[in-house]
């Protein structure tokens, strides 16, 4: 058996939805289950996990459930451990900046959920501090690893679209208010003082999807609002929803590409997936979701004629062709963890760093500014 090469990781926020399911169970424990991550020079990288959180009972429970022995409610003490080299953060957004700052000061490499901070200045400070400390840093950009978006990316790289004209994104679903049916998302998402809001949550995703698959984002015009002003929390108590729950945005990209993305927790789903992007180009179009991607080539584009006097005879949805997988897709969070671990352990390249994270926060901040001021806002370059 090849030797295990241990790598110590502090995981903060593992009792939360993302920290537990995607990062602990589906990523790092899954890597252990497959025997560790094979390294180029031999040996298998073996994540040694130190769970950190506020609630001792919950941590003990998570640790016991997965046969883990190391956990602590003392972040400073965990960061002081010499056998830990990476700090990972999946806490509520409002707690992130402070904790990552401590981890950088302790000389740990940083891997974190998005958004990296609640303000652009905070996000840039973290990126600068991490560079100055010489630590490696990475930010979760999971949507890029969704099979549907991987296929879309393949189409773009393969030149399927010709000149890309526009991108239309629809994201959202109905998040219950919490009175007569429990809400399916944590209540902090709907309080701005706790780092909530759909723009802060989703614009960082849209930023890397647009920048990585299509082109850099140069301007934003947004209408952002709170449709549901009163909600009920985890204890059934009513509260004022101070954060935005819907954002209607137009992003202008290099090359004249217009990306229009609606994000809403107050919309009922009438599409095939919870997020879908339609891309129209001179040579063809595509509709990509989380898993599927369908195309219509220029040569097979029908010619509908507008006539409200006649019933529709075309079955428009059937006129699209499925893009095959052509590869096996692993869990996206796990794939990205593996890339980051290789970045730390064997110097493999890794592009989605705290600067990329800061650009996502910047887009959220400028989108909110656009909505507040009722105008188009240009997106400037961030400088180190
Ligand atoms: N990449 C993605 O697709 C994705 C999806 C959802 C959420 N997220 C991000 O992950 C982070 C966590 O989101 P979640 O949905 O898992 O939230 P959650 O409420 O389920 O979990 C929050 C975690 O933070 C901890 N925490 C620390 N301080 C806290 C405080 N003061 N108040 C409340 N909780 C506190 C909780 O104990 C818990 O472990 C957020 O930053 C969010 O933006 C990313």
How much distance in Å is there from the Cα of 6 to the middle of ligand 1?
Answer: 27
Query: What does pLDDT average to over the chain?
Result: 97
Which residues are within 8 A (CB) of 273 and not within 5 positions of it... i.e. 6 or more apart? 148, 289, 290, 291, 292
Atom of ligand 1 nearest to the CA of 14: 39
How much distance in Å is there from the Cα of 195 to the middle of ligand 1?
Answer: 10
Asked if 88 and 109 count as a contact pair (C-beta separation under 8 A), the reply is no
Please choose, from the candidates 10, 4, 35, 37, the residue with its C-alpha nearest in 3D space to the C-alpha of residue 24: 10
Atom of ligand 1 nearest to the CA of 186: 19
Among the ranges given (153-162, 216-225, 301-310), the one the predictor scored with the smallest mean pLDDT? 301-310
Which residues are within 8 A (CB) of 330 and not within 5 positions of it... i.e. 6 or more apart? none
Q: What is the predicted pLDDT for the residue at 230?
A: 98
Q: What is the predicted pLDDT for the residue at 384?
A: 86
Asked if 358 and 122 count as a contact pair (C-beta separation under 8 A), the reply is no
Q: What is the mean pLDDT of residues 90-115?
A: 97
pTM: 0.96
**Residue 36 — very low, low, confident or very high, per pLDDT cuts 50/70/90?**
very high
Walk me through the domains of the chain, giving residue ranges and CATH numbers: 4-141+332-352 (3.40.50.720), 143-327+362-373 (3.30.360.10)
- CA nearest ligand 1 atom 4, residue: 18
Q: What is the predicted pLDDT for the residue at 2?
A: 82
Using the predicted structure, report yes or no on whether residue 113 has a pLDDT greater than 80. yes
Using the predicted structure, report yes or no on whether residue 286 has a pLDDT greater than 90. yes
How much distance in Å is there from the Cα of 19 to the middle of ligand 1?
Answer: 7
b/e burial code for range 281-290 (CB count within 10 A of at least 16 → b)? beebbbbbbb
How much distance in Å is there from the Cα of 13 to the middle of ligand 1?
Answer: 7
Which tokens hold the place of 285? 């179009």
- CA nearest ligand 1 atom 35, residue: 92
- CA nearest ligand 1 atom 5, residue: 18
* Beta pairing, strands 275-281 & 284-288: antiparallel
Which residues have CB under 6 Å of ligand 1? 13, 15-19, 53-54, 90-93, 95, 113-114, 140, 142, 186, 188, 201
Q: Which of 92, 95, 145, 360 to mutate to test the pocket of ligand 1 (most atoms within 8 A of CB)?
A: 92
Q: Which of 10, 16, 19 to mutate to test the pocket of ligand 1 (most atoms within 8 A of CB)?
A: 16
Q: What is the predicted pLDDT for the residue at 1?
A: 63
How much distance in Å is there from the Cα of 135 to the middle of ligand 1?
Answer: 24
pLDDT digits (tens, 9 = 90+) for 299-316: 999 999 999 999 988 999
Q: What is the mean pLDDT of residues 52-61?
A: 97
Q: What is the mean pLDDT of residues 123-139?
A: 98
């Amino acid at each position: 058996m090849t030797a295990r090469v241990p790598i110590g990781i502090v995981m903060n926020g593992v009792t939360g939805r993302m920290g537990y399911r995607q990062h602990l169970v589906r990523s790092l424990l899954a890597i252990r289950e497959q025997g560790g991550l094979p390294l180029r020079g031999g040996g298998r990288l073996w994540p040694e996990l130190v769970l950190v959180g506020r609630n001792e009972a919950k941590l003990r429970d998570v640790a016991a459930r997965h046969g883990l022995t190391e956990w602590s409610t003392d972040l400073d003490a965990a960061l002081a451990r010499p056998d830990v080299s990476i700090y990972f953060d999946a806490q509520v957004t409002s707690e992130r900046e402070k904790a990552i700052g401590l981890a950088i000061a302790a000389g740990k490499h940083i891997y974190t959920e998005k958004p990296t901070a609640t303000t652009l200045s905070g996000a840039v400070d973290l990126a600068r501090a991490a560079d100055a400390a010489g630590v490696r840093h990475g930010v979760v950009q999971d949507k890029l690893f969704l099979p549907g978006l991987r296929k879309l990316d393949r189409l773009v790289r393969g030149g399927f679209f010709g000149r890309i004209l526009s991108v239309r994104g629809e994201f959202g679903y109905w998040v219950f208010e919490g009175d007569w049916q429990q809400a399916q998302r944590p209540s902090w998402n709907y309080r701005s003082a706790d780092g909530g809001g759909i723009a802060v949550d989703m614009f960082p995703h849209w930023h890397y999807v647009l920048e990585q698959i299509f082109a850099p984002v140069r301007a934003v015009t947004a209408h952002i609002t709170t449709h549901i002003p009163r909600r009920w929390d985890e204890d059934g108590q009513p509260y004022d929803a101070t954060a935005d729950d819907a954002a209607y945005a137009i992003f202008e990209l290099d090359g004249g590409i217009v990306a229009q993305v609606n994000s809403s927790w107050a919309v009922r789903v009438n599409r095939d997936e919870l997020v879908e992007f339609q891309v129209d180009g001179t040579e063809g179009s595509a509709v990509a979701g989380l898993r599927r991607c369908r195309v219509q080539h220029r040569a097979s584009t029908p010619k509908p004629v507008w006539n409200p006097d006649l019933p529709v005879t075309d079955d428009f949805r059937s006129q699209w062709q499925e893009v095959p997988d052509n590869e096996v897709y692993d869990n996206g969070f796990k794939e990205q963890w593996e890339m980051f671990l290789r970045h730390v352990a064997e110097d493999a390249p890794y592009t989605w760093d705290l600067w990329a994270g800061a650009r996502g926060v910047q887009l959220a901040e400028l989108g909110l500014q656009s909505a507040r001021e009722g105008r188009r806002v240009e997106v400037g370059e961030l400088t180190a």
